[in-house]
Amino acid sequence: MSISKRAGRPRARWLVLLLAALLLVSCGGGDEYAADYDQPAADQQSLDQQSVDDESDWYYAETPEDCFEGEEFDPVDELCYLVVECDESGDCGDESPGFVQEFFGLLDEVAWGVSGGGFEDAGELQENTIVTYRVDGNQIVDPELAEVSDDLLDFQDDTETQQALWTYFSQLIPPDQRTFLTQYVVFTDGPDETLAFVTADTEDPTKWILAVDIADGGDIQDLTFTLVHEFAHLLTLNSQQVPADYELAADPENEDLFYEAAAACPTYFPGEGCSEPNSYINAFFERFWADIDAEWQEVDQLQYEDQDEYTAALDQFYANHQDEFVSDYAATNPGEDIAESFATFVLKPAPSGDTIADEKVAFFYDYPELVKLRAEISGRLVSRLRRN
């Protein structure tokens, strides 16, 4: 399982009409990019005017008439997004997808409110699954409601926010990049705890599950970074990169089986299986972790013995190698490191420094397909944030 914890800014007002906020953010004045686009030929259809043929179909579909100048309509995805041209080598010219961060400043102007249940006792709540959906392309269908406490009933009834979080993810990540994602779980462990995680399906470890905390979706910047981070796990751990170990997936608590599989693996072993020699994560490990792996292994082992000692040792490990990581969370393990580095690669300008952390971000530029993917995700994000 791969988990992301993001602490949003403390505030009492956190979530109302999230879908409208995500899709209808105004670009306002003074934005150097907004001036380059004209309004779509047809007025953007408001959410409350959309006809919904199927109650389970909440995916926000657009038409070619909804596209702004410079945007392209994807008929498969039913989505308009900013097109950044890249050649076969992955060269996108003067394009800088890091310009996406320019739009984050606009989000502070969004009027947030309160939706769903209160969390006065949030600190005492345990992680709870609220509802599980089956993923069908861009849609989430067949909701299975979990048994929840009274505290969570309002969240369980808040299908609009559940669908909004999925819609944002599905419009951010191209559909051909998430074909192995088969379930979407809405859960909560209270505000400012685990925002999202992905995990392989134990019944079929070639398939994956995305889970998002409904209580933590109100901070758009944290949500965006975390969803790209979680996608990075899907990108680097899917069965084409790391062939699934079916025996280990069927018995994940078997430590002897785990260590046996790890010992037999000649490449990096992230836990889901033995990585392919030419996989992204094996190349990343060989380049950036080979020299510090022994030190990290001693630290990592402590989490099974004493959690406080482990936390202190991990903090010290990060302090010893601070210029090697884009964040303190990246020091958790190679899998979290590549995910944090990939999210930084997508959402920020190309690094200009010479630290190992900079080299980790620059690592992805060696893969033309990832440079193109970066441009597409950035274009999709800009188009989501500039709808008005």
Q: Kindly report, residue by residue over 238-264, the tens digit of the pLDDT.
A: 999 999 999 998 888 898 999 999 999
Same domain, 133 and 256: no
User: Residues near 305 by Cβ (< 8 Å), separated by ≥ 6?
Assistant: none
Evaluate if residue 39 carries a pLDDT over 50: no
Contact between 208 and 238 under an 8 Å Cβ cutoff? The reply is yes
As a whole number of angstroms, the distance between CA 198 and CA 211 comes to 6
Mean predicted confidence (pLDDT) in 315-320? 97
Same domain, 90 and 112: yes
Evaluate if residue 124 carries a pLDDT over 80: no
The range of the structural domain enclosing residue 224 comes to 1-241+367-388
Q: What pLDDT is attached to residue 128?
A: 81
Q: What pLDDT is attached to residue 127?
A: 56
Confidence of residue 60 (pLDDT cuts 50, 70, 90): low
Q: To the nearest whole percent, how much of the chain has pLDDT over 70?
A: 74
Same domain, 217 and 128: yes
Phi, psi at 135, each rounded to 5°:
-90, 125
Same domain, 41 and 111: yes
Residues in the chain: 388
Same domain, 252 and 207: no
User: Judging by beta carbons within 10 Å of its beta carbon (0-12, 13-18, 19+), is residue 205 exposed, middle or buried?
Assistant: buried
Evaluate if residue 118 carries a pLDDT over 90: no
Same domain, 281 and 144: no
Q: What pLDDT is attached to residue 90?
A: 61
Q: What pLDDT is attached to residue 365?
A: 94
Q: Angle at CA 143, nearest 5°, toward 140 and 146?
A: 135
Same domain, 373 and 313: no
More confident residue, 107 or 150: 150
Q: What pLDDT is attached to residue 91?
A: 67
Same domain, 169 and 306: no
Q: What pLDDT is attached to residue 32?
A: 32
Q: What pLDDT is attached to residue 59?
A: 52
pTM, two decimals, is 0.79
Evaluate if residue 183 carries a pLDDT over 60: yes
Confidence of residue 89 (pLDDT cuts 50, 70, 90): low
Same domain, 221 and 267: no
Same domain, 120 and 192: yes
Distances (CA, A) of 233 to 270, 287, 311, 378: 11, 18, 23, 18
Confidence of residue 363 (pLDDT cuts 50, 70, 90): very high
Same domain, 276 and 177: no
Q: What is the mean pLDDT of the chain?
A: 78
Same domain, 357 and 372: no
Total structural domains in the chain? 2
As a whole number of angstroms, the distance between CA 181 and CA 165 comes to 15
Evaluate if residue 10 carries a pLDDT over 70: no
